[in-house]
Amino acid sequence: LVNRRVSGERSYDKLLGGLLADGFDERSCRSRYQSVMYRSRPGKQPSAYLVSKLRQQEALQRRCGPGTVAYSHALEQLRSGKSAGDSTGPQDCKYLVSISYRGLGNRILATASAFLYAVLTGRVLLVDPSNEMGELFCEPFPGTTWLLPPGFPLASYTNFSVNTTESYGNMLRNKVIRTAAGDVRPASRLPAFSYVHLDHDATEQDNLFFCDEDQRVLRNISWLVMRTDSYIVPGLFLDTGFQGELGRMFPEPDAVFHHIVRYLFHPNNHVWGLVTRYYDAYLATAQQRVGIQVRVFGSQPNSPELLEQITKCTQKERLLPELLAAAADPVAPGPSRKTKAVLVTSLKSWYYEKLKGMYWERAAATGEAVSVHQPSHEEFQRFGARSHDAKAWAEIYLLSLTDALVTTAWSTFGYVAQGLGGLRPWVMYRPDNDTHVPDPPCGRDVSMEPCFHAPPFYDCRLKRGADTGKIVPQVQHCIDMSWGLKIV
Ligand code: GDP
């Protein structure tokens, strides 16, 4: 019980069942060990096997990471353009450089996916520090850095795209590497690196990444650079070569992202200040907290239909009380009334203003006192703006601290919140057109996992196109995006 900390009457397992490593300097990253005190639910327990894999990965990151002899050696090899060859000495380290882009939610999903792939394939994960990736989070691995240091020899790696000659898909197409008959060349004749392109425009060949035959080739390439903005983990579950390990690491498959995101992403002290000050001031004392994520785009006008969808959803699902007629009295007045805090996150303030006005002007049928809060309204999505991203990260985290969560279909912002919080959200369906409120307005998601928006549609075993939501029982289609895949 050394890891349990007692605060008030509750005791906290600050290491989350061994998910987190002990021994970090607590002051340098307060959120790492404090976040447990802000959660009303303990979260899922990691398996002993997952815990051991995480400790192994940390040791690998220290042994091979930036600043080590092994790292300098591997960089030299990359510069020379030659593969590490057949050497299997103790210094033989393999790397995965993860490039993440687009909004913060996308970047977190991409990095979490890259991390799991690195663990499965024994690679060191190095994260491209641009797009604020080096600024919003604490270092996740003790005694080393996960940020790719400046001076990386592949000078233009951040511009890699579907057209890059060294992409896995293009190497297959140009027969630089072959899988069909098994690439029989010695590893020393393989390229020093390959670029894995898993964006929405990924080609059929790029997506062969999700086949075991192709993984056998990639295994021998020392450096991989991966670019994705998606949660590709459901695709990894389709790979027969990974299924055994994934099953041992995650006996509850619907908690994969829940574990990875809590392990990897800790708000830095500045963002943690934003989270805790807001929580303590506006959410802490309520008996119940409801999060509503209203994803809107800058150019969209305020939509009465979306407001109706929010109220219909939350009232139908009994997340928010119905309202009495204007002059009616509440059922249970007085100081004993229950309190409910509603946290709205959105780029716009209009939805929050309307909800707040509704619960001020009329009484709740249940007699509850409903307060409505919104931390910021940034109006437009911006890229590369520091305070903008810090607020977005704080709001994702605040949503994850609620007791019930309503999210917007398709939004990775909401996915991260639900994963961190271990919450199976109510998803507001995407309307067919803007003047139509979907019926039903929302539905309970089948799991807390994110949806993989750009999955492969290929059966590796049968070597032909297939419905990849029907290959293994743990991978099904998403309720918010019919072609997407998610783990259940
Ligand atoms: P997605 O586009 O909904 O999948 O989510 P992303 O997080 O990937 O990208 C949306 C970006 O827009 C966020 O990262 C924020 O920068 C901004 N944004 C969208 N909604 C909100 C919000 O409710 N609050 C804040 N602070 N920023 C938001």
347 near 375, Cβ under 8 Å? Answer: no
pLDDT in tens, 232-257: 999 999 999 999 999 999 999 999 99
The total of other beta-carbon atoms located within 10 Å of residue 23's CB is 8
pLDDT at 262 over 70: yes
For ligand 1, atom 22, name the residue with the nearest CA.
346
For ligand 1, atom 27, name the residue with the nearest CA.
392
- Choose which residue among 379, 381, 480 to substitute to test ligand 1 binding: the one with the highest number of ligand atoms within 8 A of its C-beta: 381
Closest atom of ligand 1 to CA, residue 102: 8
Q: What is the pLDDT of residue 182?
A: 56
Task: For residue 436, report the phi and psi dihedrals to the nearest 5 degrees.
Answer: -135, 125
CATH 3.40.50 residue ranges of the chain are 270-451
Q: What is the maximum span of the chain, computed from C-alpha positions, in angstroms? A: 82
Query: Poorest-confidence range of 262-271, 291-300, 325-334?
Result: 325-334
76 near 82, Cβ under 8 Å? Answer: no
Task: Find, among 309, 272, 282, the residue nearest to 436 by Cα.
Answer: 309
Please give the mean pLDDT across all residues of the chain. 93
Q: Please tell me the number of Cα atoms within 13 Å of 359 on its side-chain side.
A: 23
Q: How are beta strands 95-99 and 369-373 bridged, if at all?
A: unpaired
- Choose which residue among 413, 427, 428, 480 to substitute to test ligand 1 binding: the one with the highest number of ligand atoms within 8 A of its C-beta: 413
CA distance 422 to 153: 40
Q: Which helix (H) or strand (E) holds 198?
A: strand 193-198
Highest average pLDDT, of 87-96, 155-164, 188-197, comes from 155-164
Give the confidence band of 51 by pLDDT, cuts at 50, 70, 90: very high
CA distance 337 to 23: 44
Helix, coil or strand: residue 77: helix
pLDDT at 86 over 80: no
The Å distance, Cα 413 to ligand 1 centre, comes to: 6
Closest atom of ligand 1 to CA, residue 293: 23
CATH 2.30.29 for the 270-451 domain, yes or no: no
298 near 381, Cβ under 8 Å? Answer: yes
Q: 354-392 b/e with 16+ CB inside 10 Å = b?
A: bbbebbeebbbebbbbbbbbbbbbbeebeeeeeebbbbb
Mean local confidence (pLDDT), 157-182? 90
CA distance 482 to 393: 28
Query: Poorest-confidence range of 26-30, 124-128, 183-187, 385-389?
Result: 183-187
Nearest-5° angle of CA 129, CA 221, CA 232? 55
pLDDT at 89 over 70: no
pLDDT at 38 over 50: yes
Q: What is the pLDDT of residue 87?
A: 52
pLDDT at 381 over 60: yes
Q: What is the pLDDT of residue 411?
A: 98
DSSP letter assigned to residue 451: P
Pocket of ligand 1 (CB under 6 A): 102-106, 295, 345-347, 376, 378, 381, 388-389, 391-392, 395, 411-413
Q: What is the pLDDT of residue 243?
A: 98
